[in-house]
Amino acid sequence: MKFSRRDWLVGSAGALAGLVLTPVPWKLLSDVSIWTQNFPWIPQPAHGPVETQFSACTLCDAGCGVRVRMAAKIPVGVAGASRHPLTRGALCPLAFAAHQLNWHPRRLREVRHKGRVASWTEAQAAFQKACGEGPIGIIDGRPGRAASSVYEAFARKQHGSYPPLLSAERQALEPYAEWSQVPVASLGYDLENARTIVSFGAPLLDGWGIPGRFTRLWSERAAGAADPGLRLIQIEPSLSRTAARAWRWIPIREGSEAPLAAGVGRVLLDERRVDSRGPMPPFTLEEAAAATGLAAEAIRDLALKMVENRPVVVITAEGNPAIAALNVLLGAVGAPGGIVLKRDDAPSPAPVEPVSGPLRAVLMDSTVPWEFAASSGAEVFRFAAWDGGGSSTGWLLPAPGFLEELTDVPTPPTSARETYALAQNLVAPSTEVRGAAQFLLQIDPTLPAVEKIIQARCEQIFRARQGTVYGERSIDVAKLDSVEHFEEQLRKGAVWMGDPPKHSKFRCELKEWPGANRVGRAANWVAGWDPPVLPALATKLYRESNLREPPAGRQG
């Protein structure tokens, strides 16, 4: 029998058809796909002993408790630490992927000056020269840390400026501080005891305050319930993530929050729904309805909803006294479930006198948002762990990334209790980085070191003998035998939480209904965590799920 060319072709066609009925194509497809995931140039996590470390998240000032899984001394996973008394295991999506940030392609790895590579020596010499030529300013995105004390001390010695950079949450508490004469650092929100929260645009489920704290409260008391134990009423023009999950979403016109607050106040006072006899708001119900685009009946319904399930607290996205006045009217200031005192006495050192003239140079800590622009004319020394893009005219100095430096985490602005935690430098920096405090200490070695300041703070807390340390087990500070033991606990990821203040009542009165102007806010100087980059995992989970829109033109 002779085999023709046609026979070969027919036989091959049969073989091809037969191959489909074998594991060959399907198994090869599977194996090749695995092979492509394991190309030698794809970075692989190092193999080594797996251990778990506890720490505090340093991505924002909230300091949520994190449990870091380390393989060969490198973080390979971040999860919430259930031992943290406020966050109890909950985290924001960004923190879950924070370990990836240190490997981000836009990680700053060298000193840059006007776009070209420079050295630390050059940067140091330039800053020293600037200090000798005129006043300098130091911008701190997260005041209150041990590093902040270094900045403040340096600014004082140099007769420079150390202006406060307030987070939106801290600004929101400023009206109460002004009306009650209680320092803003002593005020916080008692969300745990609130039953109704009225949010005027505050992104409660998208990174507001202590993200893990509200996420945990929400999951326990509100999520999925038709009549939740914690009612969230979100007043916001657009259907944000928080609005979408709130018990009630009330869409209003952009910028009409103050008239709405006034309208609600009017209803509460006219119908005697509140005990206090505060000043009458300047808007009538009809005027408020016209300004907000809501029906008058809807505003009245909102007012009734606010008082039917107390305690109620009103939260604003920023310091808007016209909205904050509602809390005074509702009796929520100085009451459980409202605005409460977190400590009896708040140390309020005299602030550094602001410099009147132009600054010669401005040093910016790595916690300052990337978009923050210093006053024009000053030479800028910006510390940052990641390059947020755009052209830089000054110095760009690589700072430690996630968990790459020892830092302390003082009480977050919105907390109802005092807390203190340490974020240990669990990771060796992958490149030569320096923190701003370290940079200043190299210029002026007489400044107090961050470690020493942390030790002093630990000693101060320990000597007070109050509060509890939440670590592997919770222990009263009074039962600890030494300050070294206390500090060791904090370094292992424990959190100290103070006892409630003995005197929780304080007076807060309104003489007149405030206007809608914002208070306590230096022009354009607003802090908040606005990351210049997003970790790869968070990009998928967070950005693409429309939880937070990145600034225009920015790439993660």
Partner 1 sequence: MRRNLFIFGFGMALAIFAGWTAFPRALYVRREQPLEFRHQTHSAKSGLAQCDSCHVLGNDGQFSGMPANDVCAGCHSEKVGTSAAEARLVDGYLKPAVATPWLVYSRQPANVWFSHAIHIRRAGLACKDCHGNLGESDQQRLYEQNRISGYSRDIWGHSMSRLGRAPGDGMTMSDCEDCHRRRHVEVGCLGCHQ
The tokens 């003082």 sit on which residue? 410
Residue placing its CB nearer to partner 1 in the complex, 2 or 502: 2
Can you point out the beta strands (E) in 260-347?
312-316, 339-341
How near is the Cβ of 469 to partner 1 at its closest, in Å? 21
Determine if 73 is a binding residue for partner 1 (CB under 8 A). Answer: no
How near is the Cβ of 96 to partner 1 at its closest, in Å? 7
Residue placing its CB nearer to partner 1 in the complex, 21 or 552: 21
Determine if 225 is a binding residue for partner 1 (CB under 8 A). Answer: no
Stretch that binds partner 1, among 37-45, 360-368, 393-401, 402-410 (CB under 8 A): 37-45
| 3-state SS class at 443 | helix
Beta carbons of 260 and 237 less than 8 angstroms apart: no
State the DSSP code for 71. Answer: E
Which of 2, 5, 34, 275 is the binder for partner 1 (CB under 8 A)?
A: 34
Considering only residues 48-67, where is the footprint of partner 1 by CB under 8 A? Answer: 50
H/E element holding 221?
Answer: helix 211-221
Residue placing its CB nearer to partner 1 in the complex, 100 or 148: 100
CA distances from 16 to 10, 23, 32, 278, 385 (A): 10, 13, 20, 86, 55
Give yes or no for a cis peptide into 311 (omega within 30° of 0). Answer: yes
Determine if 391 is a binding residue for partner 1 (CB under 8 A). Answer: no
Stretch that binds partner 1, among 69-77, 105-113, 167-175, 227-235 (CB under 8 A): 69-77
How near is the Cβ of 82 to partner 1 at its closest, in Å? 15
Determine if 255 is a binding residue for partner 1 (CB under 8 A). Answer: no
Number of residues that bind partner 1 (CB under 8 A): 35
How near is the Cβ of 402 to partner 1 at its closest, in Å? 15
**Structural tokens at position 60:** 């924002």
CA angle 404, 528, 526 (to 5 degrees): 130
**Structural tokens at position 281:** 């708001």
Determine if 132 is a binding residue for partner 1 (CB under 8 A). Answer: no
Beta bridge partners of 187: 341
Stretch that binds partner 1, among 3-11, 190-198, 300-308, 379-387 (CB under 8 A): 3-11
Considering only residues 530-549, where is the footprint of partner 1 by CB under 8 A? Answer: 537
Determine if 114 is a binding residue for partner 1 (CB under 8 A). Answer: no
How near is the Cβ of 77 to partner 1 at its closest, in Å? 4
**How many residues can be counted in the chain?**
556
Can you point out the beta strands (E) in 424-521?
468-470, 474-476, 495-497
Q: Is 502 exposed, middle or buried (0-12, 13-18, 19+ CB in 10 A)?
A: exposed
Residue type at position 390: G
Determine if 5 is a binding residue for partner 1 (CB under 8 A). Answer: no
Interface residues with partner 1 (CB under 8 A) are 6-7, 10-19, 21-24, 27-28, 30-32, 34-35, 37-38, 44-45, 47, 50, 69, 76-77, 79, 96, 537
